[in-house]
């Protein structure tokens, strides 16, 4: 669906039936919608529960979170527990490319829309399921959310500051990483189908996705036999590679990679002797004496405000950055140049600020962002446009409660 996009989009013409709710699933399909796919959000009668969840501030009388992950989509309300509603859905399957869900295992079978039935309707259909623990295994039917998979994957054991309590990574990492892997799976399945003509059944687990991110941590555990713990903003195998408090606000320093960066840092802080100190000569020595080095740097950096050190260290070619809050981050010259946010006018008269897709096609305009659909906003249009239902048939479905 074009939605007045200035460019056709990488997935123009692809139709996705999105049965997902909450965060992980809608984030996955949002990425496809941002690339031009026609994502038909199939909501239960009453809509996605996130609309009325009360999470965070409200936009348009709904949770603002709904706007975050459901932009550029169209909404239909279908009662999949009714025979007429299921028949409508299967009619849509005949015209679609992908059916995506984030139900617990067994729900598709109970609704009689599992992959075997979908394949009978459309042999080329791609069916992708994203769940907390996957379609099999001893935990498969357990409920799971972002914080659950962050805890079970070991991710939360790496966050926070020892010896304080573990900290959840707040940007829905468990959900959004699963959504990215699901989006990758859907586009990969489309590539396979283009070559072979065959559909696919894909099973994505949020927990698997979190474990897959633990590249270094898994390899290092295998090599050392010791599970890593929390290091705050630092990294145990690089030094200095951490956050430091200045006289007013924090900065991060990454004087690693090549030895010249540490030499530059030592000169910039007025301690060129540190570059020849045996404790700090070479990254391996510095990591062995990391606490000593960080204490020394912390004392020096606390003597002047952040801007002084940004200027001083920057002029010496030291990799540094201020620790920005979200409001500052989206207003940096780089973020503005890349047009990473857009404030959109809603039909309600309100405005919403949304993050744009990071995917760019050089030479093309940045895709416009359109507000999330209202509940069932496109039910009539899609049934008429895609399925050819006449007004009498649509009214009959509406009055029976099969659609809304």
Domain positions in the chain are 15-213+336-400, 241-245+250-322
pLDDT category at 361 given cuts 50, 70, 90 is confident
Query: Considering 175, 216, 248, 273, which one is annotated as catalytic?
Result: 175
What does the alpha-carbon distance between residue 21 and residue 77 come to, in Å, rounded to a whole number?
13
User: Looking at residue 69, what is its pLDDT?
Assistant: 96
End-to-end CA distance of the chain: 22
Instruction: Share the mean pLDDT of the chain.
Output: 94
Query: Which pairing describes strands 341-345 and 351-355: parallel, antiparallel, or unpaired?
Result: antiparallel
User: Looking at residue 368, what is its pLDDT?
Assistant: 73
Query: Has residue 48 got a pLDDT over 90?
Result: yes
- Residue with the bigger pLDDT between 396 and 364: it is 396
| Side-chain-side CA neighbours of residue 14 (13 Å) | 28
Dihedral of the alpha carbons of 151, 154, 160, 164, in degrees to the nearest 10: 80
What does the alpha-carbon distance between residue 26 and residue 176 come to, in Å, rounded to a whole number?
9
Q: Which of 146, 137, 156, 140 is nearest to 178 (CA)?
A: 146
3-state secondary structure of 17: strand
Question: If you average pLDDT over residues 102-116, what whole number do you get?
Answer: 97
Query: Which residues, including other chains, have CB under 8 Å from residue 402's CB and lie 6 or more apart?
Result: 78, 79, 82, 84, 85, 87, 88
- Cα of 235 vs its chain's centroid, Å: 23
Alpha helices in 70-172 (DSSP H): 83-95, 107-110, 115-121, 146-152
User: Looking at residue 366, what is its pLDDT?
Assistant: 67
What does the alpha-carbon distance between residue 268 and residue 312 come to, in Å, rounded to a whole number?
6
| Side-chain-side CA neighbours of residue 101 (13 Å) | 22
Instruction: With beta carbons less than 8 A apart as the criterion, state whether 359 and 338 touch.
Output: no
What does the alpha-carbon distance between residue 8 and residue 12 come to, in Å, rounded to a whole number?
6
**Class at the top of the CATH hierarchy for domain 15-213+336-400:** alpha beta
Query: Which residues, including other chains, have CB under 8 Å from residue 284's CB and lie 6 or more apart?
Result: none
Cα angle vertex 304, ends 300, 306, to 5°? 110
Query: Has residue 3 got a pLDDT over 70?
Result: no
305-335 per-position pLDDT tens digit: 999 999 999 999 999 999 999 999 999 999 9
What does the alpha-carbon distance between residue 272 and residue 337 come to, in Å, rounded to a whole number?
37
Instruction: With beta carbons less than 8 A apart as the criterion, state whether 380 and 394 touch.
Output: yes
Which stretch of DSSP H or E encloses residue 253? strand 250-254
Q: Annotated catalytic, 273?
A: no
User: Looking at residue 362, what is its pLDDT?
Assistant: 82
User: Looking at residue 55, what is its pLDDT?
Assistant: 87
- Residue with the bigger pLDDT between 9 and 250: it is 250
Instruction: With beta carbons less than 8 A apart as the criterion, state whether 102 and 175 touch.
Output: no
3-state secondary structure of 193: helix
191-212 per-position pLDDT tens digit: 999 999 999 999 999 999 999 9
Query: Has residue 85 got a pLDDT over 80?
Result: yes
Q: Which of 75, 83, 57 is nearest to 21 (CA)?
A: 75
**Class at the top of the CATH hierarchy for domain 241-245+250-322:** alpha beta
Residues in the chain: 404
3-state secondary structure of 18: strand
User: Looking at residue 369, what is its pLDDT?
Assistant: 85
Dihedral of the alpha carbons of 33, 179, 330, 264, in degrees to the nearest 10: -130
Domains 15-213+336-400 and 241-245+250-322 equal at CATH topology level: no
């Amino acid at each position: 669906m074009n939605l007045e996009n200035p460019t056709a989009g990488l997935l123009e013409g692809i139709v996705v039936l999105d049965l997902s709710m909450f965060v992980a699933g809608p984030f996955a399909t949002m990425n496809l919608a941002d690339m031009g796919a026609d994502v038909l959000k199939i909501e239960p009668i009453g809509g996605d529960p996130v609309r009325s969840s009360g999470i965070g501030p409200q936009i348009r009388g709904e949770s603002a979170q709904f706007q975050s992950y459901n932009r550029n989509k169209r909404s239909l309300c279908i009662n999949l527990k009714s025979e007429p509603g299921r028949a409508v859905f299967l009619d849509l399957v005949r015209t679609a490319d992908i059916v995506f869900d984030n139900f617990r295992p067994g729900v598709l079978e109970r609704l009689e829309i599992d992959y075997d039935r979908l394949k009978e309707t459309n042999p080329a259909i791609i069916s992708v399921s994203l769940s907390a623990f996957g379609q099999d295994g001893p935990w498969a039917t357990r409920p799971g959310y972002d914080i659950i998979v962050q805890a079970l994957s070991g991710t939360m054991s790496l966050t926070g500051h020892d010896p304080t309590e573990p900290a959840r990574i707040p940007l829905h990492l468990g959900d959004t990483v699963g959504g990215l892997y699901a989006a990758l799976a859907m586009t990969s399945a489309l590539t396979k189908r283009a070559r072979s003509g065959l559909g696919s059944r894909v099973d994505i687990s949020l927990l698997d996705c979190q474990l897959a991110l633990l590249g270094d941590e898994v390899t290092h555990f295998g090599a050392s036999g010791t599970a890593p713990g929390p290091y705050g903003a630092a990294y145990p195998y690089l030094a200095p590679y951490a956050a430091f408090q200045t006289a007013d606000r924090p900065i991060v320093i990454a004087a690693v990679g090549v030895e010249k960066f540490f030499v530059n840092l030592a000169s910039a802080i007025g301690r060129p002797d540190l570059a020849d100190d045996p404790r700090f000569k070479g990254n391996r020595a510095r990591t062995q004496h990391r606490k000593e080095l960080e204490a020394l740097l912390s004392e020096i950096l606390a003597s002047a405000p952040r801007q002084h050190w940004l200027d001083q260290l920057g002029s010496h070619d030291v990799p540094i950055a201020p620790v920005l809050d979200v409001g500052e981050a989206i207003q940096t010259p780089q973020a503005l140049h890349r047009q990473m946010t857009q404030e959109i006018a809603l039909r309600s008269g309100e405005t919403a600020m949304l993050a744009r897709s990071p995917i760019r096609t050089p030479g093309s305009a940045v895709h416009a962002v359109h507000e999330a659909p209202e509940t069932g906003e496109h039910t009539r249009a899609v049934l008429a446009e895609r399925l050819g239902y006449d007004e009498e048939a649509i009214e009959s479905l509406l009055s029976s409660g099969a659609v809304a």
